[in-house]
Chains A and B, each alone.
Chain A
Amino acid sequence: DSGVTQTPKHLITATGQRVTLRCSPRSGDLSVYWYQQSLDQGLQFLIQYYNGEERAKGNILERFSAQQFPDLHSELNLSSLELGDSALYFCASSRGWGETQYFGPGTRLLVL
């Protein structure tokens, strides 16, 4: 158990819908990262937050957004969902800059 929690574990929804994925980092970790794992794209970095502020964006679609709250938990919002958004979404956290990232169990999203 990495200490990173993600909810829900599984999510099934329809095209066009909006969902919110939640992540709680390890105690004391200030950085949160979101990754997407799909069969065709592999593991891709989406976005990073550090102590409530957005620090970097990767291959994140405009339909996706995220935030990190004062208690350091983070949410990833996916809207206008398409079939191709079906993937495993991971949250990872680290103490600070350039430190080892520990991954949560992931949220498996299926868009029908």
Chain B
Amino acid sequence: AQTVTQSQPEMSVQEAETVTLSCTYDTSESNYYLFWYKQPPSRQMILVIRQEAYKQQNATENRFSVNFQKAAKSFSLKISDSQLGDTAMYFCAFMLFSSNDYKLSFGAGTTVTVRA
């Protein structure tokens, strides 16, 4: 079974500054996808970014970027120019591509608070 670990329960950042969230995962497989989802106070789960393990280039979506270190099994999320609307819980998720179910395995989440 794959496990996903987010070691930072809470983080606080000043508006316009940068924050980095950590995520590590454990798998013996080589073909998988990684995701970051955001859950604001509305509780909606919103996709932030996706990374295919076979791609060496780190994914980027506007102010969100990842640092994917496959050998270290690390997948961190960097939020640049933080905005008040970025306040949310962020979940790292793992999906094994070679299985029959393609379920998402989630970490425990990191609560990010952006201060004005």
Same complex = yes
Q: Give me the interface of A with B, judged by CB distance under 8 Å.
A: 2, 31, 33, 35, 42-43, 45, 48, 55-56, 58, 88, 90, 92, 94, 97-98, 100-103, 105-106, 108
CA–CA, A108 and B44, complex, Å: 11
Known contacts being A100-B35, A100-B50, is A43 close to B101, with CB within 8 Å? no
The reply on B43 being an interface residue by CB < 8 A is yes
Contact call A48/B47, Cβ cutoff below 8 A? no
In the complex, per-residue mask of B32-63: 1 if CB is within 8 Å of any chain A CB, else 0: 01010100001111110010000000000000
Question: Which A residue's beta carbon lies closest to that of B32?
Answer: A98
Contact call A56/B106, Cβ cutoff below 8 A? no
- CB-defined contacts of B47 to chain A, threshold 8 Å: 100-103
- CB-defined contacts of B16 to chain A, threshold 8 Å: none
- CB-defined contacts of B50 to chain A, threshold 8 Å: 100
Interface range on chain B: under 10, 10 to 19, 20 to 34, or 35 or more? Answer: 20 to 34
Known contacts being A88-B43, A100-B50, A103-B44, is A56 close to B108, with CB within 8 Å? no
Contact call A42/B109, Cβ cutoff below 8 A? yes
Q: How far is the CB of A82 from chain B (nearest CB, A)?
A: 22
- CB-defined contacts of A97 to chain B, threshold 8 Å: 102
A–B Cβ pairs within 8 angstroms, 15 of them? A31-B102, A42-B106, A42-B109, A43-B104, A43-B106, A45-B104, A56-B103, A58-B103, A90-B45, A98-B95, A100-B35, A100-B50, A103-B45, A103-B46, A105-B44
Question: Which A residue's beta carbon lies closest to that of B101?
Answer: A56
Known contacts being A56-B100, A98-B97, A100-B35, is A45 close to B44, with CB within 8 Å? no
- CB-defined contacts of A92 to chain B, threshold 8 Å: 45, 104
- CB-defined contacts of B102 to chain A, threshold 8 Å: 31, 48, 56, 94, 97-98
